[in-house]
């Protein structure tokens, strides 16, 4: 871990990353890509030490409240968050200034802040986004070694639902020859249905690899799945998009099951839902 001072914290679309780099060790992580110009070891997490005062200043200046997003590049609930509590402080500011919040995570550490999430959702809107990659717990431990397992994330989704907090699942990435099966997609969707998620985001059955992330991914394949790297290279070369050979059938399965369960599954519709800000929800509810 190391500290840095930044000039701003909120993006033009009101997203932010309080940390840069990650400790989760997911073998497919796009944030390792060279295009993001991370000038330090990925596991040596960069902590933006002035992020919280910058965020408070930005929220105070905004003319209209909106949804604040966290976690697009770095999970806001990496292990360091237990000690630093920067994500919790950011949520406290969102609540204080009347903003909504949506966070993307793979960690059950988010339940530490369920009190704040509930209060934000009661006042405006809070949506938790949880990534799910594989239904197979043993495979999960190999490809996402330092995060909550899929079953643990499923339990967290149910806890959030019971607290009245809406959830969205990212079904990704689907790794060719590893988790690109109907059994895997059905297993994850079974979890989504039982947890009562509002929507599922899926950009296709496959993954993307760029310079930086590709080399790390292949190194991990060599270590844990001998011979699989060569199979990838034969089929995909240095392609950016690696579609599963089973992609068409799996996407049809995905859309059919979501439609049957009444789960939003059009990406544009899900993102529209995530962007929509709901002001003064308590006042609106009191009218009825």
Identify the band that residue 281 occupies on the pLDDT scale cut at 50, 70 and 90.
Answer: low
Per-position b or e across 214-232, b if 16+ CB within 10 A of its CB:
bebbbebbeeebeebbeeb
Kindly tell me if the per-residue pLDDT of 282 is higher than 80.
no
**Strand arrangement, sheet containing 2-4:** 2-4, 46-48, 19-20
- Tens digits of residue pLDDT in 124-152: 999 999 999 999 999 999 999 999 999 99
Mean pLDDT of the chain: 96
- Tens digits of residue pLDDT in 155-192: 999 999 999 999 999 999 999 999 999 999 999 999 99
Asked whether the beta carbons of 100 and 278 are under 8 A apart, the reply is yes
Cross-strand partners of 20: 46
Identify the band that residue 280 occupies on the pLDDT scale cut at 50, 70 and 90.
Answer: low
Q: Chain-centre distance of CA 48, in angstroms?
A: 20
Local structure of residue 264 (DSSP, 8 states): B
Q: What angle do CA 216, 2, 173 make, to 5 degrees?
A: 30
- Tens digits of residue pLDDT in 89-133: 999 999 999 999 999 999 999 999 999 999 999 999 999 999 999
d(CA 21, CA 43): 6
Task: For residue 118, give every residue at least 6 positions away whose Cβ sits within 8 Å of its Cβ, in sequence order, or none.
Answer: 126, 163, 164, 165
Count the neighbouring beta carbons within 10 Å of the beta carbon of residue 253. Answer: 16
- Tens digits of residue pLDDT in 183-231: 999 999 999 999 999 999 999 999 999 999 999 999 999 999 999 999 9
The CATH T-level fold of domain 2-286 is TIM Barrel (3.20.20)
Identify the band that residue 288 occupies on the pLDDT scale cut at 50, 70 and 90.
Answer: very low
- Tens digits of residue pLDDT in 33-59: 999 999 899 999 999 999 999 999 999
Give the global pTM.
0.95
- Tens digits of residue pLDDT in 248-273: 999 999 999 999 999 999 999 999 99
């Amino acid at each position: 871990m190391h500290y840095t001072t930044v000039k701003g914290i909120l993006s033009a679309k009101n997203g932010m990353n309080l940390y840069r780099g990650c400790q989760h060790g997911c073998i497919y992580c796009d944030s390792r890509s060279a295009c993001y110009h991370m000038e330090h070891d990925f596991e040596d997490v960069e902590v933006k030490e002035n992020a919280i005062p910058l965020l408070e200043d930005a929220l105070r200046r905004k003319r209209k409240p909106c949804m604040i997003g966290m976690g697009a590049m770095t999970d806001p609930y990496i292990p360091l968050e237990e000690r630093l509590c920067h994500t919790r402080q950011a949520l406290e500011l969102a609540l204080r200034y009347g903003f909504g919040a949506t966070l993307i995570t793979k960690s059950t550490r988010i339940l530490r802040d369920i009190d704040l999430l509930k209060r934000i959702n009661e006042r405006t809107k809070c949506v938790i986004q949880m990534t799910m990659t594989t239904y197979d717990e043993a495979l999960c431990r190999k490809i996402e070694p330092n995060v909550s397992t899929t079953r643990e994330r499923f339990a967290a989704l149910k806890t959030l639902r019971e607290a009245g907090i809406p959830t969205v699942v990212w079904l990704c990435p689907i790794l060719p020859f590893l988790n690109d099966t109907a059994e895997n997609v059905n297993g994850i969707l079974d979890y989504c249905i039982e947890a009562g998620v509002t929507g599922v985001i899926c950009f296709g059955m496959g993954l993307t690899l760029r310079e930086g992330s590709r080399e790390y991914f292949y190194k991990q394949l060599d270590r844990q799945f001998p011979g699989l790297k060569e199979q990838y290279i034969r089929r995909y070369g240095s392609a950016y998009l690696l579609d599963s050979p089973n992609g068409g059938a799996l996407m049809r399965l995905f859309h059919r099951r979501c439609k049957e369960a009444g789960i939003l599954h059009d990406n544009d519709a899900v993102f529209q839902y995530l962007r929509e800000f709901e002001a003064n929800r308590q006042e609106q509810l009191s009218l009825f």
